[in-house]
């Protein structure tokens, strides 16, 4: 059975089996290094001693059954939660390092250059498509306007920055095929176009790490293909590292360079798509088998029966 055929969670004991992590290039030059990440809510351990790397210029995916702790990891990375334990190190291309667990959420976006989207689309529906991309560039425009005075006086420095922001917005609108709808309200766009616009808005912040929470959710096959094309373009042409949470295994296996699998807040596999696809711990988690059945699943993998 393939991973896409079942989303049933495994028992907690299955997550404690021996983990087979595949070394890869993502360990040699990580843009993000997560070490001993733990997040507790009272007596509930949502993420338990998690560690992984996101390679620079890679598309990495975090997958796992519902309730595995995937979104909690994103919330820790982007400052919505402060981890109970652990270190989250963001290393920029120029060599600067940021400890995300010590930063407020707005600084993670502005200085560490981490952007994210959400499971539920959070566009400004009453604003135009173009305005949604302009508001994403609020921080540099405020600095260029000397906190509004330069804009009021029409100083050249601000006009130059504003023109650059408009050009950047138009560039991404052209890339997502929405330039002709730049003056339409964002809420009037079809669902798939809104998904692409949200990604374009995140890219207008010029991130070094783009975190996408279930970007393919609700998309039809054509829209999914357009999403895959956009993510490859972001990686290949802009060198932006992408970390995504996704339940659509077709998307994950097609575009990912590296996959991390969670179950009950613990990592149960870490490696290339081929490695993860054939990992008995992953198959066991998605099939919902007991811990003692993992060996049986492994034998089935080896004989080609799984």
pLDDT bracket for residue 285 (50, 70, 90): confident
- Mean pLDDT, residues 114-125 taken together: 93
Going by pLDDT thresholds of 50, 70 and 90, the confidence category of residue 101 is very high
Q: Which residue has the higher pLDDT, 86 or 301?
A: 86
Residue position matching structure tokens 């404690």: 16
Which CATH number among 3.40.50.10310, 3.60.21.10, 3.40.50.300, 3.40.50.1240 corresponds to the domain 3-113+207-303? 3.40.50.300
What's the confidence (pLDDT) of residue 13? Answer: 44
Classify residue 34 as left (phi > 0), alpha (psi -120 to 50) or beta: beta
Token pair 């070490």 is found at 35
pLDDT of residue 220: 94
| DSSP code per residue over the chain | --GGG------GGGGGSPPEEPP-GGGTSEEEEEEEEEEEETTEEEEEEEEEEEETT-EEEEE-STTSSHHHHHHHHTTSS--SEEEEEEE-TTS-EEEGGGS-HHHHHHTS-EEE--SS----TTSBHHHHHHHTTHHHHHHHTTTTHHHHHT-HHHHHHHHHHHHHHHHHHHHTT-GGGTTSBGGGS-HHHHHHHHHHHHHTT--SEEEEESTTTT--HHHHHHHHHHHHHHHHHH--EEEEE-S-HHHHHHH-SEEEEEETTEEEEEE-HHHHHT-HHHHHHHHT--GGGHHHHHHHHHHT--
Best CA proximity match to 4, nearest among 247, 282, 304, 279: 247
Domain chopping of the chain, boundaries: 3-113+207-303, 122-205
Looking at 14-28, 60-74, 269-283, which range is the least confident one? 14-28
CA angle 34, 97, 48 (to 5 degrees): 15
Residue 8 has pLDDT above 60, yes or no: no
Mean pLDDT of 52-62: 97
Backbone torsion region of residue 221, taken as left when φ is above 0, otherwise alpha when ψ lies between -120 and 50, otherwise beta: alpha
């Amino acid at each position: 059975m393939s991973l896409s055929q079942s989303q049933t969670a495994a028992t907690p004991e299955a997550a404690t089996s021996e983990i087979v992590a595949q070394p890869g290039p993502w360990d040699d030059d990580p843009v993000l290094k997560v070490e001993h990440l733990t997040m507790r809510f009272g007596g509930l351990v949502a993420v338990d001693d998690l560690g992984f790397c996101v390679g620079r210029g890679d598309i990495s995916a975090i997958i796992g059954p519902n309730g595995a702790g995937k979104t909690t990891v994103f919330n820790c990375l982007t400052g919505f939660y402060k981890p109970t334990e652990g270190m989250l190190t963001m290393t920029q291309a120029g060599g600067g390092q940021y400890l995300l667990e010590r930063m407020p959420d707005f600084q993670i976006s502005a200085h560490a250059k981490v952007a994210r989207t959400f499971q539920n689309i959070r566009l400004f529906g009453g604003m135009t498509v173009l305005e949604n991309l302009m508001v994403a560039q609020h921080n540099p425009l405020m600095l260029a306007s000397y906190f509004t005075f330069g804009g009021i006086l029409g100083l050249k420095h601000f006009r130059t920055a504003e023109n650059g922001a408009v050009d950047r917005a138009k560039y991404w609108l052209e890339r997502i095929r929405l330039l002709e709808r730049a003056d339409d309200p964002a809420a009037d766009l079809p669902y798939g176009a809104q998904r692409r616009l949200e990604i374009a808005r995140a890219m207008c912040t010029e991130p070094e790490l783009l975190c996408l929470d279930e970007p393919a959710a609700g998309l039809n096959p054509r829209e999914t293909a357009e999403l895959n094309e956009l993510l490859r373009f972001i990686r290949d042409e802009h060198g932006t590292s992408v970390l995504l949470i996704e339940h659509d295994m077709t998307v994950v296996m097609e575009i990912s360079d590296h996959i991390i699998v969670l179950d009950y807040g613990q990592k149960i596999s870490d490696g290339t798509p081929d490695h993860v696809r054939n990992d008995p711990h992953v198959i066991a988690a998605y099939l919902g088998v007991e811990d003692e059945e993992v060996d049986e699943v492994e034998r089935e993998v080896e004989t080609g029966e799984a």
